[in-house]
Amino acid sequence: MVLILMLLLSACAPVAAPTGEVSQSDSSADSAAAANIKIGLVTDVGRVNDRSFNQSAWDGVLQICGELGLTEGEDCKYIETQDAKDYADNIQQFVDAGFNVIVSVGFALGEATITAATDNPDIYFIGVDHFQAEPLPNLTGLIFHED
């Protein structure tokens, strides 16, 4: 799961096509692109240390934030949902704060995430354990095989 999140979050950063040679300006461009990324994670009702979806998703966010040189608590934050009625408000907090990648965890956040993605086409949304009948260009739902 961490790998999938890492790949999806990495895809959000615009990068130039490889030229075979890495120059100082290429490195600066990558740093500039990473500097514009702010990743917010909204948990299902629960905590980021639940040893389940919430924790795995947050671990994935932390991993990509580290690789991109982003700062936890500033560029990478989470909101632990206390009540299911707060899903949409929690997502909106990240929208209002200028986050451009929002990860929502758990199928129960599906409807709120779809609404937010529809209303905010310039923000990338990743829904962990989400299904969407109609695809949206800025929303990727991740569904995992269960044993």
Residue-wise pLDDT tens digits, 117-144: 999 999 999 999 888 788 899 999 988 7
Q: For the segment 8-65, what is each residue's pLDDT rounded down to a tens digit?
A: 544 443 334 444 454 454 444 455 556 689 999 999 998 999 888 899 999 999 999 9
Gap between the terminal Cα atoms of the chain: 15
pTM: 0.78
Q: What is the pLDDT of residue 20?
A: 47
62 sits in the region (left: phi over 0; alpha: psi -120 to 50; else beta) called alpha
Q: What is the pLDDT of residue 19?
A: 45
Q: What is the pLDDT of residue 33?
A: 56
Q: What is the pLDDT of residue 90?
A: 98
* Helix segments in the chain, DSSP class H: 2-11, 24-35, 53-68, 87-96, 110-119
Go through the domains of the chain in sequence order and give each one's CATH number: 2-8+31-142 (3.40.50.2300)
